[in-house]
Amino acid sequence: MKRIPFYGGNWKMNHALAQTEAYLQDFVNYAFPDSCEIVLFPPFTSFHLMQKYLGSTPISFGAQNFYFEESGAFTGEVSLSMLKDMGCTHVLTGHSERREIFGETDEMVRKKTIAALDLGLVPMVCVGETLEERQRGGTAEKIRSQVEAALQGMSEADTSKLLFAYEPIWAIGTGVNASQDDAREGIATVRGVLRNSYSDSLAQKIRIVYGGSVKPENIATYMREEGIDGGLVGGASLKAPSFYELIQNGTL
């Protein structure tokens, strides 16, 4: 099945307003391929600039984080309806930095994913193993457990709306990218859970991308592998020319 490649730019905690505006003034003028989907994940403070510059383009933007409740006494949190009001279309759930640094559990990831679907946003569920888990041969077990936890109680119709990212934690921001075989096998594990939990047709429909030190120089090698549908990009997405080059190289 032909799946549309997805390229997400996760800026993390980078780019103040002046940097964001300069980036977008440059980025929107590139001639992007028609055959892919592009989503930027900036800090919340840049959402109004995303609205301003991306509104008339095919490029979308999403949120790196949110809380699953609609409103209430949750100091410092942002709700999905607030994000949607700003034009946000996608959200990340389960990113390893949220899990490892901020203590988000599988149950919280599941609640956030379901809440996003209920409000009509597209969640990208992130999964991946630590170096220690990998060294003891626990990669597949970790991926399966995270995917199964996120999908618990979810209908096939809702699951069909998800995106997934396989991001081995040991490769995120380290400059040490996973091999093509590592990426292919991790993504195949995700797809296997989808197949076993629902159906082969669903597993073949859902896009699963690789993330972890993805660069313009290596994206094409990943995209040649079976089942890899794009990239969730960190550092290489922080400069407009670099992210554009990555997208171009990945869709050749």
**In angstroms, rounded to a whole number, what is the distance separating the alpha carbons of residues 36 and 5?**
5
Active-site residue set:
95, 167
Contact (CB, 8 A) for 3 and 34: no
Q: Which residues of 170-184 are buried (b: 16+ CB within 10 A; e: fewer)?
A: bbbeeeebbebebbb
Nearest alpha carbon to residue 150 among 186, 88, 193: 193
- Our CA angle for 213, 216, 207, nearest 5°, is 70
Residue found under tokens 């996760």: 10
Contact (CB, 8 A) for 89 and 109: no
State the virtual CA torsion across 10, 15, 21, 26 in degrees, nearest 10: -60
